[in-house]
Structure 1
Amino acid sequence: MNDEIILDVRNLKQYFPLSKRLTIRAADDISFQIRRGEIFGLVGESGSGKSTVARSIMGLYRLTGGEVWFQGENIADPKIYQKNRRNIQKNMQIIFQDCAAALNPRMTVRNSIAEPLQACGCCSGQALDVRINELLRQVGLDESFRRKYPGEISGGQRQRVAIARAISTNPQLLVADEPVASLDVSIQAQILLLFQQLQQEYGFAFLLIAHDLSVIHLLSNTIGVMREGHLLELAETEELFQNPLHEYTKSLLSAVPMADPVYERSRQILEFDPGCIPESGSLREARPGHWVFG
C-alpha cells in the first residue's frame, strides 16, 4: 500500500424519493478515501446504506449530491464518465452478494468471464482462452468448468467464477458487496483466503462491504462504520477494534461472539441509543487518523 489516493468519495448523497412527502436518505454525506493497494472495510447492520454506497460509486445510481473521484477524475460527472467509460469500467469492477443473480444462467462460465475481456478490448482469439484458463486456475477451478452453466455448479463455485470475471481486466479498484454473506461458513473461509491471495498478487485497491466484523477485521487495513445512511466512525483496523470512540461501534464490537465459553458467560452486550446520532453533521478528527461523527 502506498500514499496514492485512487478513490476519493466526497460528501456522497443518495436519496430515493418515494412520494412528495417521503424520501429515503440511503446515504447521507459519506466521505472517505482509499489508497492504492489498501483494503477498506465498510461495515454496518442491514439497511445501513453500505450497498447503496457501493452501487453509487460504481455509477449504477445517479448521485443526488457529492463527488466520486477515481484516478484524479470526478466520475460522478456524466460527461467525464461517458468520455472515459471504457477505461473506468476496465479499472473498476464489482462483485455482488448474490452470485446466482450476478451470472447469466444462459451463458457458460467461459462466456461469462470472456464478456468483460471482449468489451474492454483486453484480448481476443487464442489469447482470450489462455487468459480464461489462467483466471480459472487462479480462483481454484479447473478448465472443465469452462463448459458449465451457473445452474450446474455450487454457490461457492459461482462466487469463484464471479471473482474471476471481476479480476479479468486487472482492475485498479475492486468492490465486493458482502461477497460471502450467502455462502456456508466453510466456503466463506476459502473465499476470504482467495481474496487475500488475489489482492496481494494483483495489488488492487479493495472496498470490502460486510456486516460481519470478523470478516472485516481479518482483511481490512481501514474500517468505516455506517448506520442509517451515515458514516459514524473511520479509523485503521486495530485502532478501531482496540479504541472504538462512537457508542454504536462499541455496541457492535460488544456483540461479536468469541470462541471462549468463560468469556461468553460473562460478556455484556452494550445497548445503543439511536438518539445520540445527530440529524446532520460531519466526521471530526478525534485522534490523528481516527474520525468520528459529531
Structure 2
Amino acid sequence: GIYGFIGPALAFTLLGVIGVATLAAALVHGQALAGIGLVGAMVTPVLVASQAPNPWALFGYLAIVLAATGVIARMRDWKLLMAAAFFGTGVWTILYMTDAPGAKLSAILFIDAVTLAVLALVWLARRGDETTPDRAFDWPSIVPGLFVAFSALGLSVDPAFAAASYALPGAVVIAAMVAVTLYRPLALPLLYAAGLVTVLIYLGIIPPTLIASDFSGGALGVDGLPVATSNALTLRIGIALGLVFIGAGFWAARRFAAGTQIRAASWA
C-alpha cells in the first residue's frame, strides 16, 4: 500500500483511476496530458507492491487502460498515444511471460485478445480511408503486431511453454492476427508479423537470443536450452497455418486487386 495507510488493492485502484481520469482530461487539455496519464497508468503496477501478485488484476487493469486510451485516441486521431498504449501493454505481456512456466496461458491469451480487439474494434473502427490508395496501412498497428506475434512465438518455441503444449494456442493467436488483418485492411502490419513469426517458429528461433547448434548430435538450442522438437502436432499446426495463409491470401489478393496494389501484393 501507500505508506502503510491503505492496502495494495485500494492503492492500485486509486492510482489506476487517477491515470484513466488524466487520460480523459486530455480530451480538453491535449495529447501531452494524455501521455502523462498513460505513463502514470502503465507504471502503476510497479508502484504497488503485493505479497501475492495476481495476473488477472494486472491484465484486467491493462485492458481497461488500453480500451480507454483507444477510445480517446480514436476521438482525437492521436496515433502516437495509441502506439504508446499498445507498447506499454505489450511490454507488460512479455515481462509476464518471462515468468514461465509460472505464467498462466489464459491470462496471456486474454491480453492478446484484448489487444487485437482494441485495434480492430476501437482504434480502426469506422475509419473511412481504408480504401484510399495512398493509405496502405496504419502505422500504430505495427506495435501490437510485433508484441502479439512475439507472445505467439514464445508460446510455441520457449521450452517451458512448449513442454506444456502451448504451441496450439500460439497458432490460434497467429490465425487471429490474420483474421484481424482481413477484417481491418489498415492493420496490414499484423500480416507481416504473423508471417515472420510463423517462419521463426518452424526454424526454432526466439530472437534476440543466441542460437547454438550441436551438429554432431543434430540438436538445436536456444541459450543452451533445446527448442521444441517437431512432432505430429507441430506438423499439423504448420499445415493448418499454411492453409490459413494461402486461403486468406487468395481471398484478399482478389479483394484488393483493383484497389490498393500494395495490399494485394502483400497478401499474394
Same fold (TM over 0.5): no
From the two aligned structures, give the one with the greater helix fraction.
Answer: 2
The structure with the greater share of residues assigned to strand is 1
Specify which structure has the bigger relative contact order, considering alpha-carbon pairs within 8 angstroms and separated by 6 or more residues: 1
TM-score (norm 1): 0.29
